[in-house]
Structure 1
């Protein structure tokens, strides 16, 4: 393996950026371990004659796979292939399609919908998908004691009941115009298996998707195999699939450059230009943001003028150019420009250090010294020095940085209320893409608005929720956008949590080996409907 790796490196030195070389040198052991693992897979596949897809994933397994509770980037992406909703969103286009449903839901009236299940649909253990499984799947999410992240997305559902051997009926608490799209937030699971041993199901998931789960090795790989009995719209096109968990960027880029995998996510920005010479590569605009979150219980950040000042005092274009090499767009709204419901906010925070200084003066703040808390995510670490440079250039402002692993950041500083200012990444679009869902993630429920940035209960937060409620209860989309726009204007003015920029997600793949592959506007990779050429 060592000689093979050395030969590959010596014959392709022009493909490595300075940073890529340093990363490869630092991550040599990871690259070698990956090479050995993949060589073994390739040998097995060659012996069996099976068709395979291999991919490089940038995140390790931080949670299990149970779709009711998982929020990890890697299991969320894996579950696209393992589970189905009644309606799902195509991972790349984000358009809804009938998955376990035979067709899109049939509206009976404003609060009643009927759905027929796909005939012959089965779970990976061979058992049929039944209306009882559907009812169970929704009831467990709707039960607040289960702590499902999806609860806030489907809280408009009153109850679900079976109808015959293949149907279910949904009763809503009120008319909800995004019903079809929102069904994708709940994946259908086999009741008998989950009730028998929930922990085992979390570790060894059983769904009805085109691929079934084989094994997962933490910090190493996830193996899938074709589900022969799948009869849905996106059947598996290969016999086996392996995702290598390559959190080390050097190992991930090396794997792609050496043709050892067919696709990788999260290409380091400094490596995108030269990797284009070797692979297909696209930087997809996304909702994924870097946001500033303030603790409104900690002065002076309870003063909206101080919060606005720190946004005006940020040279966002310089942050994007230096930290992301241009692979982002400064926020002009809560949404990114490519979203179908994008509308600019009335308040746009263009760089204006004089206005920032004036706002601090109006707030009576002559000296502002604080620590900004952030995550140790690689691209976030690249932009934070530029952010600090902007803020520290403001008169009377002194800022230092404490970067932590994401779990520690929230457990030790955010959830305890120790922080004053937090800069962190976020992207709830992995759960869905409608505007209400993307707003609800941070502004509905108790986790964020109540317990983290402490905006809940204010007149502005109450008004925001009222506008969001009006938007989803009107059947006129233009009217709904009017209400959403008003809500966004309040959020943009108050900035309890608000984006600095929305970034582009670089994905690399070998188009001559993967037919129909599309990069995603979220973390992860999708091989639904993708063929191995």
Structure 2
């Protein structure tokens, strides 16, 4: 753990010097082992890392392996991105624009009636062990997600799904509990796994995944690298165009930039905002607008954070525009609703938090709170570290004495999950699982987060949010769904138990002459589907 105070005022030049010192001196707590997942796994015949060039794609990834690869439970940024290449669903999201497209299915699932859909598997699809992908594998993949004993993260996205059955070896039928118009795209959260291999040893499968995607995993070492090889028998729409890939896991931002500048890698994600201009001299650098946000979450079971006026006060106290300009080189948008303005279903919330310290003091006084002291947990992600001193500066200026506690994500969430915290400032981006409003809202406002992390699900407003989302899910009318989502948007913006401070742009750098067909993605991770070394 590290607690430190920052100067009362921080201009840009002093801020950059200060945040660099923080990054070098901090003694961050926790280990990735707390998150589970393999420390290292290697298949026989593993490829070696020969560096960039040739028929290999080499990349720099900003996150270590924090979970395993089993798509039923994997939530870490890096394994989720790896799984885009290893697994397929009947339908997958295009990582570049998050649109849904057929993958193992020959077409988008067809509607039979209001509560029944069918999908047909493509002929000749096989898993990386050479076995055929069958309808039984699809049914197995669905059922293990729906089984409460498995505690799958994906189950929360499928509350409408009653059952799946194999009509024949290549046809699957889905029965819904109620009509759900978003089913054809939402089924993308189910990645199809080989029943025989998973049943034989589920833990081994988590460490050494076997899918039907264009790349197969060769080896993975938690804080070092992931190696993939082309799956030659893949017969889908997006075959591998490189013989192999090596993803170097470079959580240190300067190490990623150095690797890109030296040519040791051909692409990096999460370019530090301060390095964007410099990298543009040698690389292509682009930012993608995203749902990815920095959010503020309160322990609503702890006084005085159970009072929405206190939560609102801390949002009004934030000088978000200064944070964006100073720490992010303008590469973000202050939240004016739950969704980012570039989202097709964006709606401005009835409450928008501009910088208003006077309003913050009024709200604290109305709540009967004086001389408020807070300990703000933040994660050690590089861009969050850059922002943390300015968060403290904003709150201190509004009379809130703030202590920063910066630590590894696993350690910080361990505190959150035991209730040992005041508030958390952290990044979040469920759009890796889907981009529709229902999914994006359910991630943070239904289930685990409100029940066990910010303790809001038992409140009247918390229950109302769930009810409204359920009503929207059951509605076949687009306008009615939109109106219900707008109500949720307004409630969470007013109550702010967990709410975005800003939506960031994600800068990616790559060597355009070395990678043909590459595009940055609006989520964490890199996609090399359809990309070839040149």
Query: Does TM, scored on the shorter chain, surpass 0.5?
Result: yes
- The Cα shift of 1:19 comes to 11
Question: Which position in structure 1 is the counterpart of 2:50?
Answer: 42
Question: What residue number does 2:248 align with?
Answer: 244
Contact 1:20 1:271 in 2 (8 A): no
Return closer, same or farther for 1:303/1:153 CA change in 2, 3 Å cut-off: same
How many residues align structurally? 498
Q: Distance in 2 between matches of 1:228 and 1:124?
A: 9
| Paired residues for 1:304-319 under 5 Å | 304-319=308-323
The verdict on how the C-alpha distance between 1:181 and 1:19 changes in structure 2, with shifts beyond 3 A counting, is farther
Give the whole-Å Cα distance in 2 for the aligned partners of 1:223 and 1:18.
Answer: 36
Stretches of structure 1 that go unaligned for 5 or more consecutive residues are: 1-16, 27-39
Which whole-Å deviations, capped at 9, do the CAs of 1:347-391 have from their partners, x for residues lacking one?
000111111111111111122112111112211111111111111
Assess, with a 3 A threshold, how the Cα gap between structure 1 residues 19 and 403 changes in structure 2: closer, same or farther. Answer: closer
Deviations along 1:22-59, one digit per CA (max 9) or x if unpaired, are 99999xxxxxxxxxxxxx7338x98xxx6111111111
- Higher mean Cα deviation, 240-249 or 160-169? 240-249
Question: Is residue 274 of structure 1 aligned with residue 261 of structure 2?
Answer: no
> Which residue matches 1:321?
325
Distance (Å, rounded) in 1 between the aligned partners of 2:266 and 2:364 = 52
Paired with 1:493 and 1:292, the residues of 2 have a C-alpha distance of 13
Cα-to-partner distance string for 1:184-240 (whole Å, 9 max, x where unaligned): 111000000011111111111110001111111232111111111111110111111
Further displaced range: 107-116 or 473-482: 473-482
Q: Judge conservation of contact 1:24–1:254 (CA < 8 Å) in 2.
A: no
CA distance in 1, matches of 2:207, 2:56: 23
- In the alignment, the residues of structure 1 paired with residue 528 and residue 405 of structure 2 have an alpha-carbon distance, to the nearest angstrom, of 38
Name 1:389's counterpart in structure 2: 393
User: What does residue 125 of structure 1 align with?
Assistant: 129
Partner of 1:400: 403
Q: Deviations over 1:62-115 (max 9, x none)?
A: 221111111111111110000000001100111111100011111011110011
Quick one: distance in 1 between partners of 2:162 and 2:270? 39
The equivalent position to 1:157 in structure 2, one of 158, 161, 166, is: 161
Is the alpha carbon distance of 1:311 and 1:18 closer, same or farther for their aligned partners in structure 2, counting shifts above 3 Å?
A: closer
Equivalences for 1:246-261 in 2 at 5 Å? 246-261=250-265
Kept after mapping to 1: 8 A contact 2:379/2:412: yes
Please report how far the alpha carbon of residue 273 of structure 1 lies from its aligned counterpart in structure 2 after TM superposition: 0.5
- Structure 1 segments of 4+ aligned residues over 3 angstroms from their partners: 17-26, 40-43
Q: CA deviation at 1:329?
A: 0.8
For 1:286 and 1:440, how far apart are their aligned partners in 2? 18
Q: 2:421 aligns with which of 419, 422, 431?
A: 419
Question: Paired residue for 2:362?
Answer: 358
**1:146-195: CA deviations, max 9, x gaps?**
11111101121101000112101000111111101111111000000011
- What SS does the aligned partner of 2:287 have? strand
Aligned to 1:449, what secondary structure does the other structure show?
A: helix
- CA–CA distance in structure 2, aligned partners of residues 66 and 372 of structure 1: 32
Q: TM-score, normalised on structure 1? A: 0.90
Distance across 2 between alignment mates of 1:520 and 1:508: 11
Contact map agreement 2:266 2:514 (CA 8 A) in 1: yes
**Within 1, Cα distance between the matches of 2:57 and 2:127?**
22
The answer to which structure, 1 or 2, has the higher relative contact order (CA under 8 A, 6+ apart) is: 2
What is the aligned partner in structure 1 of residue 8 from structure 2? none
Query: Which deviates the most, 416-425 or 116-125?
Result: 416-425
Secondary structure at 1:448 match in 2 = helix
- Structure 2: distance between partners of 1:247 and 1:422: 21
Question: For 2:49, what is the secondary structure of its paired residue?
Answer: helix
- Residue 431 of structure 2 corresponds to 429
Secondary structure at 1:450 match in 2: helix
The alpha-carbon deviation at position 251 of structure 1 amounts to 2.1
**Aligned residue for 2:441?**
439
User: SS in structure 2 opposite 1:41?
Assistant: coil
CA RMSD between the two structures: 2.1
Distance 1:203 1:393, change over 3 A: same
Equivalences for residues 201-350 of structure 1 within 5 A: 201-350=205-354
Deviation at 1:250, TM superposition (A): 2.2
How far apart in 2 are the matches of 1:21 and 1:518? 30
Equivalent residue of 1:42, what SS? coil
Q: Which residue of 1 aligns with 2:526?
A: 525
Q: Which moved more, 1:270-279 or 1:57-66?
A: 57-66
Distance, in Å, in 2 between the alignment partners of 1:218 and 1:442 is: 27
CA separation of 1:444 and 1:18: change in aligned 2, threshold 3 A: closer
TM-score (norm 2): 0.90
